[in-house]
Amino acid sequence: MSVELRKWLCRVIPWLAGLLLAGLTGGTVLVTDGSLPSDLQGIQWMWLSAVMTVVLLLWLAGYIMNPQRTVRIVSETVQWVLMGFGAVEALHGLGQIAGIYPSNHSLFVLTGTFYNPGPYSGYLAAVLPVALYRMLILNGKKDRLSVVQYYLSICVLFLICSVLPAGMSRAAWFASLMSCGYVIFRVYRVKVKSFISEHRYAVLGMCIVGALFASCAYFMKRDSADGRLLIWKITSQAIAGNPWGEENGRTFSAIYGDAQERYFTDCEYSESEAWVAGTPDFAFNEYLQIAVEYGVWVSVLFITLVLVLLKIAGNRKSLAGMSGCLVSLLVFACFSYPLHIPAIVSVWLLTVMALCGEGLVMIKRKRNAVAILLPVVVAGLTASVNMYGMYSARTLAVREWIPVRVLYHSGAIRAAVEEYGKLYDKMSWHKDFCFEYGRALYKAGSYGKAENVLLKAMTVSGDPMILNILGRSAQESGEYGKAEMYLLRSTRRLPERVYPHYLLVKLYAEPGYFDRVKLVREAEYVLNAEPKVNSTAIKEMRQKVEKLLENKKLWKNK
């Protein structure tokens, strides 16, 4: 390689690394596909994994060619690209509030390009400390470029602060406060320490106000907060029972469903816990979810690596913005599921790569730094390729399933069973597909096959409706003991649900399995229970139970 070519590459590759790394990875937030279910996110995962196979190689090449320049350009570019996408998301959200753009969720007005206001707010909360940092360090500078950057930072800060409260995400609010406080402390460390020492009572008052704010945030959505506390409690018990992680490839929803069933069977629980219990797909705490799925050691390793990055960032004031972004993500991960949202994962990756680069520069010998970086890049490339292959196959399978699903919802059960059977091997990872296929088999009278498919569904979902269908299928097959077992499990999994008790009434009324005492007990529950929602279905079930009791000439509680 000639000297001139080498110099040219040393100038160009760092810029390519910075621009492509930040631009393509950050652009994950704008990749959408309206033809697929919004919560699948397969296209976004494919985009992110494909991009990473390119930018990781450029990142490595840039570091080998010119480490100092590459690290500086990557750090600056990542910050401005994040701010740019944050501004675009904030404007999109304001447009949804004004009715200009449609929402991606039927229950919420504000979602941005996401399918839920929670992840959307978490994304904005991660960008907010970066914009704050840029504004603080540029304040007072007189050169034209700095002035332009200063006002751009103010605009991004204003846009995010305008839309963030409307997202009603307490986790994002808390993450914003913590990360912005961290940035202010890093930029004005001496002044903050001096203020704390000179105004202790004022600081105490601020702490009290913060505690009141936290209390208000709790009471604003009390049932939601209590529900998450219950999720964390039961997830912690699942971790204690198996600290090495799940070995059978079950999803968190399936693991949690079994753990909650054990909790309501073996433990003394309060009425409020039974009231707020649900069937979550996430632990709403990424550290707990990593521990329950992959083992405590993986969660500890993840936290350790992040703390090491914060330590690296703590050595340089210029990294306060990126470390503030990382703090926001860390706090948000305590209350939500950002590692399951590709757009937010892209922010994680950008932040980690920027801070890792700074850490590698601190290593005196370049050869040692490259020796550390090379296996990281290889592992990242392997993960990216595998992820792309997996989500590509899943996305194609879902595209085949969507038109077939019309048969199921239109009531063409036998046609649906035939088509679902063709897709089963490709779609057995999808909880809704497995449930619908199992239910269709039950309705078609294929009880044995329905049980097999629904048991598979139990490995990817904790929904007690699967147990209800298993119970009904076993009852239709004449396996009354098995039917009772499944239905009792359903009542223990979600104690406040009325429907499984109604199914038990019908089971105990069977001539071949008649049990007067149990029938009356379950009938009384159906007639007297206070459901979360007084729907038409509840009224119809109660009418049928009353009629059944009259026909059996049994006592009923009026």
- Tell me the per-residue pLDDT of 464-473, one tens digit each, with 9 for 90 and over: 999 999 999 9
Report if residue 447 sits inside a domain.
no
**Residue 2's pLDDT band (cuts 50, 70, 90):** low
Report if residue 22 sits inside a domain.
yes
Report if residue 184 sits inside a domain.
yes
Helix, strand, coil share of the chain (percent; to 5)? 80, 0, 20
Cα separation, 182 vs 178, in Å, equals: 6
Paired strand residues for 105 = 108
Tokens standing for 224? 């939601």
What's the 3-state SS for 18-84?
Answer: HHHHHHHHHHHHHCCCCCCCCCCCHHHHHHHHHHHHHHHHHHHHHHHHCHHHHHHHHHHHHHHHHHH
Cα separation, 134 vs 87, in Å, equals: 14
Report if residue 539 sits inside a domain.
no
Report if residue 492 sits inside a domain.
no
**Residue 558's pLDDT band (cuts 50, 70, 90):** very low
Report if residue 36 sits inside a domain.
yes
Look up the domain containing 266 and give its range. 3-390
Give the amino acid at 108. F
For position 12, what pLDDT does the model report?
A: 59
Question: Is residue 437 pLDDT above 80, yes or no?
Answer: yes
Q: What percent of the chain has pLDDT over 70?
A: 89
Top-confidence range, 73-77, 186-190, 196-200, 250-254: 250-254
- The pTM of this model reads 0.89
Counting beta carbons within 10 angstroms of the beta carbon of residue 148, is it exposed (0 to 12), middle (13 to 18) or buried (19 or more)? exposed
**Residue 487's pLDDT band (cuts 50, 70, 90):** very high
2: left (phi over 0), alpha (psi -120 to 50) or beta: beta
Report if residue 296 sits inside a domain.
yes
Residue 290's contacts (CB-CB under 8 Å, 6 or more residues apart) are: 298, 299, 302, 339
Q: Is 468 helix (H, G, I), strand (E, B) or coil?
A: helix
Cα separation, 45 vs 195, in Å, equals: 46
- Tell me the per-residue pLDDT of 328-341, one tens digit each, with 9 for 90 and over: 999 999 999 999 99
For residue 176, CA distances in Å to 80, 92, 114, 130, 185 come to 18, 20, 19, 11, 14
**Of 427 and 370, more confident:** 427
Measure CA 518 to chain center. Answer: 41
Least confident window among 294-303, 370-379, 431-440: 370-379
Question: Is residue 192 pLDDT above 70, yes or no?
Answer: no
Q: How many structural domains are present in the chain?
A: 1
Question: Is residue 198 pLDDT above 70, yes or no?
Answer: no
- Tell me the per-residue pLDDT of 494-550, one tens digit each, with 9 for 90 and over: 988 889 999 999 999 888 888 888 888 988 888 888 877 778 888 888 888 888 888
Cα separation, 483 vs 37, in Å, equals: 34
**In this structure, are residues 237 and 259 in contact, taking their beta carbons and an 8 Å threshold?**
yes
Cα separation, 395 vs 427, in Å, equals: 10
- Tell me the per-residue pLDDT of 18-48, one tens digit each, with 9 for 90 and over: 666 677 777 788 887 777 776 678 888 888 8
CA geometry: angle at 375 spanning 372 and 378, to 5°?
145
Report if residue 71 sits inside a domain.
yes
Q: Please give the backbone phi and psi of residue 2, each rounded to the nearest 5 degrees, phi first.
A: -70, 160
